[in-house]
Amino acid sequence: MFNQVVIQMGFWTAWLVIPAIFELSPAIVAFFRNHFSKISSKQEYHPGRMP
């Protein structure tokens, strides 16, 4: 019975951890890349009266 519990725990741990790694790590990298990038956006020209 103990072996079955360990197998089930390993199965569910893999199903929870692996997707978190593959989805959260790119999200964290993109967050830091977007918020701390040295590239600044230039101000766009907006005419006084829009058509």
Largest CA distance in the chain: 76
The secondary structure of 29-44 as a DSSP string is HHHHHHHS-SPPPPPP
Query: Which one-letter DSSP state was computed for residue 20?
Result: H
Query: Which one-letter DSSP state was computed for residue 1?
Result: -
Question: What pLDDT does residue 47 have?
Answer: 75
**For 48, phi and psi rounded to 5 degrees?**
-60, -35
Question: What pLDDT does residue 11 have?
Answer: 92
Reading the chain (51 residues) residue by residue, the pLDDT tens digits are 889 999 999 999 999 999 999 999 999 999 998 888 777 666 777 778 877
Question: What pLDDT does residue 49 have?
Answer: 80
